Amino acid sequence: MNRINQKLQEDKKLLSIYFTAGYPNINDTATIIQNLEKNGVDMIEIGLPFSDPLADGPTIQASSTQALKNGMTTDVLFNQLKDIRKTVNIPLIIMGYFNPMLQYGVEAFCQKCQEIGIDGLIIPDLPVDVYHEDYKATFDKYSLINVFLITPQTSDERIRYIDSISNGFIYMVSSASTTGAQSGFGDEQTSYFERIANMNLKNPQIIGFGISNNDTFTQATKYAKGAIIGSAFVKHVTNNGVGTIDGFINKIYFK
C-alpha cells in the first residue's frame, strides 16, 4: 500500500509540512526532511521551485527564487533524494508546477519518483481533466498518488468529481488566496470546513493555506484529517536556519 494511504489510516490528526527544496541552502533538502521526521511530522511536501509560482504568495515566491539562484534543478533534487529512503519512512510528496515536469518528461519524472520512493505529487496548475485524460495512467503505472485542490469556491458537483478520481486525500485550500496570505480563520472558513466535512467524501481532507500555529492547526483538524503548513515553516527556516526545527514543530502540536 502507498505510504500516504497507510498514513491516512492512522488514528490521529496529521501534520504535513511544505518546504522549498534548495532553500535556504542548496544542500539543506535531506537535512530538513530527516529533521522533520525526527520531530514527529507525518508527511512532507517537497517543493520543486519554479520561476513563476502563480498560486504562491510572497514567502514561497522568495524561497523559490532563492532556491533557483542556489542552483536547484529537477536533476539536482532527484539526486539529493536518491538515498532518502534509507533514512526516512514517512510519506513524501513532491509539490511543483507543471512546466518543469513537462520539460523533464512526465513519464520520466514519474518513473524517477517511484525509484526514489516518492509517494505522491501535487501539481497546482495541472487541471483535473487534463490529468484524467492524459496522465492518470502514467501516475498509476508508477504508483503515484496525485493530490487535487479544492477551494471555498469549488462547487459541490466538482468536489464530488474530484473525489471520484482521487485516491489519497483532498487538499482543501482554506480560503480564496495564494499561500501565506491568511492569519487565522473566521466564520467563512469554519462554515466551509463544516460543509466539506458533511459531504462524507470518499477521500480524507487535509487543509492547507493559512495554517501557521497551534490555533489554526487545531481549528483545521477539528474538521479535517490533517493540516499542511508551508509559508510559516519557510519563514521559520529563513529566520532560524534548519537546525531548530523542533521548536517550530513543538509549537504546532503544543501551545
Please identify which residue in 6, 31, 40, 58 interacts with other proteins, judged by CB under 8 A: 58
- Grid coordinates 493530490 are at which residue? 147
- Which residues contact residue 222 at a Cβ distance below 8 angstroms, ignoring those fewer than 6 apart? 193
- Which residues contact residue 253 at a Cβ distance below 8 angstroms, ignoring those fewer than 6 apart? 15, 40, 214, 217
Greatest extent of the chain over all pairs of C-alpha atoms, in Å: 45
Shortest Å distance, C-beta 98 to other proteins: 6
| Closer residue to other proteins (CB): 39 or 125 | 125
Decide: 47 and 60 in contact? Cβ < 8 Å: yes
Please identify which residue in 117, 181, 190, 251 interacts with other proteins, judged by CB under 8 A: 181
Output the DSSP codes for 33-82: HHHHHHTT--EEEEEE--S--TT--HHHHHHHHHHHHTT--HHHHHHHHT
Q: Using CA atoms in the order 88, 110, 3, 180, what is the torsion angle rounded to 10 degrees?
A: 80
Q: Which helix (H) or strand (E) holds 16?
A: strand 14-20
Decide: 100 and 48 in contact? Cβ < 8 Å: yes
Shortest Å distance, C-beta 101 to other proteins: 7
Q: Is 56 a catalytic site residue?
A: yes
Please identify which residue in 2, 73, 143, 218 interacts with other proteins, judged by CB under 8 A: 73
Candidates 7-15, 59-67, 137-145, 243-251; binding stretch for other proteins (CB under 8 A): 59-67
| Closer residue to other proteins (CB): 33 or 150 | 150
Which residues, numbered 93-122, are part of the site for other proteins (CB under 8 A)? 97-104
Please identify which residue in 125, 142, 163, 197 interacts with other proteins, judged by CB under 8 A: 125
CA contacts within 13 A on the Cβ side of 114: 15
- Any contact of residue 226 with other proteins (CB under 8 A)? no
Please identify which residue in 18, 19, 23, 50 interacts with other proteins, judged by CB under 8 A: 50
Residue of 37, 42, 45, 119 marked active site: 45
- Any contact of residue 146 with other proteins (CB under 8 A)? no
Which chain residues interact with other proteins by CB under 8 A? 50-55, 57-58, 61-62, 65, 68, 73-75, 97-104, 124-128, 130, 148-151, 153-155, 158, 173, 176-178, 181
Catalytic positions: 45, 56
